Amino acid sequence: MICFEHPLSERVRSFLRIEHLFNRFHMECKREDSVWPHHLALFTLFEIMECAGRAEVKLDILQELERQKQLLDTHRDSGSTDQDRSGLEQKLHQVSGCLQEVQQKFGQHLRENEWLMAIKQRMAVPGGTSPLDSSSYYFWQQQPYQRRSDDLQNWISTLMPTYHAIQVLLKILRSNTWSVDCVAKNGNYQHNSLAQNIHMLAIEVDMARNALPEVSANKYFTHIRFVHASQVSARGKQMTEDVPFKLIMCSFDPVVA
């Protein structure tokens, strides 16, 4: 099975993109087989700077963290155990506090590093980080794995509070779910309305079907169209056969079916 997540707001879309980039950075840092994973990790670090550097991102995160704290107080008599609630409450306060302690602009320490900003500019040029174009970057690439890894971890360290906060919020989002087994007749599925306060849809479909969902959704109407996965054209052809799939509705709030 393969799962496709479709955010229903720009806030969630931003959270998912940032999570993806941080996860990619960490995976690239773990590989020791060559210097190129660290090259990709540095490129990803620059992407994180751009993707999460907008002022509204931090505000969106802090607002949702605060709302989650209030929800915990509101639902103290719910079925969740005291231990689960206490653990989540502690985690919310922890990530919120760490994020608020970061006073400087997101990635400011990276922007003040002239060497890193020079490499960032060179990476925008095809072949711009070759040894003949950037000898200092080539010198860094020849350093031992551990030296390069330490540098990367140092550069991303002050960005981690953002990642940890988003991790907590997306864990909440993915745990408050309601799922239903569906069939897209002739590759099409329509539903008149979603459950209240749905912030993301997840669509699980069998990999063997070679199917990609295209989603148009809001609180009034949901349309899912499946197309054939293609590595030739930008958009695959509409599927004409029936496609069984699982539709998972995710919310920051407890879902009421």
3-state secondary structure the chain: CEEEEEECCHHHHHHHHHHHHHHHHHHHHHCCCCCHHHHHHHHHHHHHHHHHCCHHHHHHHHHHHHHHHHHHHHCCCCCCCHHHHHHHHHHHHHHHHHHHHCCCCCCHHHHCCHHHHHHHHHHCCCCCCCCCCCHHHHHHHCCCHHHHHHHHHHHHHHHHHHHHHHHHHHHHHHHCEEEEEEEEECCEEEECCCCCCCCEEEEEECHHHCEEEEEEECCCCEEEEEEECCCCCCCCCECCCCEEEEEEEECCCCCCC
**255 assigned to some structural domain:** no
Co-location of 81 and 160 in the same domain: yes
Residue 75: the pLDDT is 65
**2 assigned to some structural domain:** no
Co-location of 80 and 203 in the same domain: no
Co-location of 81 and 155 in the same domain: yes
Domain-terminating residue out of 170, 185, 215: 170
Residue 254: the pLDDT is 79
Co-location of 25 and 118 in the same domain: yes
pTM surpassing 0.75? yes
184-224 residue pLDDT tens: 999 999 987 776 789 999 999 999 999 999 999 876 789 99
Residue 72 confidence class, pLDDT cut points 50, 70, 90: confident
Domain-terminating residue out of 113, 137, 170: 170
Domain-terminating residue out of 170, 185, 206: 170
Co-location of 141 and 206 in the same domain: no
**4 assigned to some structural domain:** no
Co-location of 200 and 141 in the same domain: no
Range of the structural domain that residue 241 is part of? 177-250
Q: Of 40-44, 104-108, 221-225, 230-234, which range is least confident?
A: 230-234
